[in-house]
Amino acid sequence: MEEWKEVLKEDKGLLISLDSKQKKKLKKILQSAEPSEYFGKDFSNMGELVDMLKELDLIKGDKKMAKQMKTLSEKNVDIVASAAKLRKEYENTYRELREIVYPKSKGMREK
């Protein structure tokens, strides 16, 4: 029975060594750092704005403005590509940090 309690304590990882105030703060920060669906929303909104501006007659009739909109559209695509790469890195880093706080049991690690 004592061995089972030790296994359970080991499974709690870092949390077992913290006092309740530190534990609560760590859990809260970990939860707030979790990747969310809003990570790329601003970039999508910017793309919609550029597309809408490109469709306006005022811009269609102005070659200089049309060229600027094309440049801004391409710039936004580059930003979105960079954001996607950063998003993936962020998710991987978050997973590693979460594993430190909540390590998987030995049986689950092997899968």
Which CA distances in Å does 105 have to 3, 70, 86, 96, 102?
15, 52, 29, 15, 9
* pTM, 2 dp: 0.61
Which parts of 1-111 are beta strand (E)? Answer: none
pLDDT reported for residue 98: 92
Contact 63, 82 (CB under 8 A): no
pLDDT reported for residue 9: 43
- pLDDT of residue 14 exceeding 90, the answer is no
Q: Using CA atoms, how far apart are residues 73 and 44, in angstroms rounded to an integer? A: 11
